[in-house]
Amino acid sequence: MMKGNFDFYNWWKKFNRKNTYVLALVVFIITTAIYFILQPAIMEEGVLSRITTSNFRTWLPIILLSVGQTVVMLGGGLDLSSGAILSLGNVILAISIRNTDEAGFNLLIVLAVIMMGLVAGALNGFFVAFLDLQPIIATFATSFLYSGLALLILPQPGGKIPRPYTDFYRTTKFLGIPLAIYIIIAVLLIWVFFRNRKYGRFLFAVGGDEKAAYTTGVPVKGIITSTYILSGLLASLGAISYTLLTGSGSARSGEDMTLTALTAAVIGGTSFSGGSGSLFGTVLGAVILGTIQNILSLARLDSWYRTLVNAVIIVIALAGPGFIKLFAREK
């Protein structure tokens, strides 16, 4: 490129690395404004609170999945099995929790699902970090393992979570704020704590340049493994929230969530190459996708058109960085 010409790609790369969530914030404001315009009664008493509660309890599973995906991507990896882990946790909960009289047993089942997520994530991390398999291949393969187990456990959709449990998740509020928002805030605060400490510095170092991180004494294999363990943990928490949301189980419940979570991370500013991104941006990305779906529903489009629009959004989000790079080369 000739001296004096504006290098848009390099400018965008530097800007996005320092302000990863800015674009997501702008899109969030625009989509929220459109949603409010299409909901003329939203400012009536009780309507905004009801819609907020309904939306965030629906969005929470995908937000948790997206956060896990982001942690993996920050470390330079990719997790294509998180949706399958969610499905497996969902069916385990659906067939095991039958009534509220066995609170101790139900708690053990919840803990077992969390442990399952940790083990599944650790298996992914072992394949990637210690066997040096490509993340996309390793996690794509394990996704079949986890989804196959889910189908084995529950071949047909079924199960019924006791109503008091689902009502607690769906309707609980503190100071007028729904439970799901508190969970999201808690996740972000935990992230802020670790982001500003040694683990956060190591994570971004590994994602930015794995070899350089290794030469400076960063435990690269341990950091990479930990990202997949965290992704598995968050997928299991997503399974719990999804089960409480739907009150039932399906081996295909997380089938479409992996791609959506990946898209939310990219919209939020997380780089495929690792070392750049933020969980706040990812949460905004997931909310943007959910809001767009609500807008399409309010526009009363046929389901086919909603699927098409959703697919176009995903393609644009995933291919956007590539188009910017291509445009810069042409210039």
Q: What is the DSSP letter of 100?
A: S
Q: How far apart are CA 95 and CA 151, in angstroms?
A: 12
Using CA atoms, how far residue 299 sits from 52, 91, 243, 293, in Å, is 19, 34, 29, 10
What ranges do the domains of the chain cover? 20-29+46-330
Task: Say what the pLDDT of residue 1 is.
Answer: 44
Q: Which residues of the chain have pLDDT under 70?
A: 1-20, 45-46, 303, 306, 310, 317-331
Tell me which residue of 85, 193, 97, 184 sits closest to 144, measured CA to CA: 85
Upper half-sphere CA count for residue 95 (Cβ side, 13 Å): 16
Q: How far apart are CA 197 and CA 192, in angstroms?
A: 9
User: Could you give the angle at which helices 103-125 and 82-96 cross, rounded to 10 degrees?
Assistant: 160
Q: Using the structure block, give the residue that is written with the tokens 């609980």.
A: 172
SS3 156: coil
Q: How far apart are CA 91 and CA 147, in angstroms?
A: 10
Q: How far apart are CA 128 and CA 310, in angstroms?
A: 31
What is the chain's Cα-based Rg?
Answer: 20
Name the β-bridge partners of 123. Answer: none
- Vertex 222, ends 127 and 131: CA angle to 5°? 20
Backbone phi, psi, residue 305, to 5°: -70, -35
pTM over 0.85: yes
Task: Kindly tell me the burial class for residue 227, based on how many C-beta atoms sit within 10 Å of its own C-beta (0-12, 13-18, 19 or more).
Answer: buried
Structure tokens at 185: 């805030």
| Contact (Cβ atoms closer than 8 angstroms) between residue 74 and residue 203 | yes
Task: Say what the pLDDT of residue 21 is.
Answer: 75
Q: How far apart are CA 121 and CA 142, in angstroms?
A: 10
| Contact (Cβ atoms closer than 8 angstroms) between residue 296 and residue 309 | yes
Q: How far apart are CA 80 and CA 40, in angstroms?
A: 39
Q: How far apart are CA 22 and CA 15, in angstroms?
A: 9
Q: Which CATH class is domain 20-29+46-330?
A: mainly alpha
Task: Kindly tell me the burial class for residue 123, based on how many C-beta atoms sit within 10 Å of its own C-beta (0-12, 13-18, 19 or more).
Answer: buried
Task: Say what the pLDDT of residue 49 is.
Answer: 80
